[in-house]
Structure formats: C-alpha cells, structure tokens
A and B are shown apart, each in its own frame.
Chain A
Amino acid sequence: AQTVTQSQPEMSVQEAETVTLSCTYDTSENNYYLFWYKQPPSRQMILVIRQEAYKQQNATENRFSVNFQKAAKSFSLKISDSQLGDTAMYFCAFMKLGAGSYQLTFGKGTKLSVIP
C-alpha cells in the first residue's frame, strides 16, 4: 500500500513571496504519477501540477514548480510570487500506473494562507 505524508498542516506566506510545501511518499512501485491538487475554500478541487515518475525533469506550470526526488521519495511544491488566490488547501497525491489502477492516495493536506 502507498502512503503520502504532508508534514505541514498549515503554512502562511506574504503576498509576492515564495513558499514550498513538502510531501513525501512511500511506495514499492517504480511507475507512478504524483499530483498536487488545490482546494480553495468552498470551491472544487483542481489540479495544480503533475509529475510522471519516469521523467527526471521537474514539472512546472507558470508560478508552480515541483522538486521531485525519486530516490528520496520526495515531491515538494514551490509557489513563486504568491497571490491571494493561492489561499487554499493543497493536497499531494499518488497514483500507481497499471491496468485497472485508478486510485489516488491523498496526503492529509496543507492549509496555505497568503497574507496581503
């Protein structure tokens, strides 16, 4: 079974600053996806960024980037130039690849507050 650990229940950052959210995972699988999802208050969960484990290059999406360390089983999310709209719960999630495998395993989340 896979486990995903987010060790920071809450974080805050000043607007325009940079913040890094931590995520570690445990798996014996070699092929998998990792995701960061964002859940704003009272709004739906949306994908922020995803990383295929076979890719060594870290994924980036505009102000969002990841630091994927496969050997260390670490997958942190960096948010640059933080904006008020980044205030949300952030979930790290794991999905193994394979026929019939569709289960996302989520961490417990990190509540991020962006302070004006």
Chain B
Amino acid sequence: DAMVIQNPRYQVTQFGKPVTLSCSQTLNHNVMYWYQQKSSQAPKLLFHYYDKDFNNEADTPDNFQSRRPNTSFCFLDIRSPGLGDAAMYLCATSIGQGQETQYFGPGTRLLVL
C-alpha cells in the first residue's frame, strides 16, 4: 500500500546531541511537511517542501533543519535538542496540485534526556 513511513517510531537522544528523523513516501507527492506535536496539543507546522523548494515557518527555531534529497525522502535534523523539543514529530505529504488533503505518517516520538 502507498503510504508515509517514519523511522524510527521512537527516538531517544541526549540533551544537545544532534538527531535526525526520517520520512519516506510512496505516494509520489510533491509536498512534504514536518509537524511538531507536543502532548495533548495540536500539530504545529515547522516547514514544508514543495518539490525542492524549502518553506520555513516564521516561528520555527533555527535549531530545526530539513533536507529533501529526492521526492521520496525527507529528513528532520535537530542540531542541539533541548528538553523542550521532546514531542511527537509528524511527517505528512500532499499532492500539491490543488487537492490539499494531507496524508500523515505514524510519527516519531522523541525523548530528550
């Protein structure tokens, strides 16, 4: 089945130690998104790619970066994780041609020790 895959599902890192979360999709969608969702809160968009074009939200901290080496893969890099960065990170995709339903992956839960 076509889908959005996130690895790992759970990630533990140490305070200040860089960490990378990955997302892949088999939907061949143009747009890929990264959201941060803290406990009992709504998902908050960090940034998105339309193809290779990167779009950062104004309030996304510089500590968060992203890479999209090809259509299928997108990475979230947290350069120096703080305790406040512990959250669920959701990857999503959409076609990018006017039908903007977003399809979500299962998420990666990040724990910062």
Contacts and interface: CB of A to CB of B under 8 A. Distances in A.
Q: Decide whether A and B are members of one complex.
A: yes
A95 B48 CA distance: 14
A106 B42 contact: yes
A108 B42 contact: yes
A11 interface: no
Nearest to A46: B104
B31 A102 contact: yes
Interface stretch (B14-22, B69-77, B93-101): B93-101
Contact of A102 (B90, B94, B107): B94
A109 B94 CA distance: 22
A17 B43 CA distance: 29
Contacts of A50: 101
B42 A102 contact: no
Given A44-B105, A45-B104, A50-B101, A106 B43 contact: yes
A20 B15 CA distance: 43
Interface of A: 33, 35, 37, 43-47, 50, 91, 95, 100, 102-104, 106-109
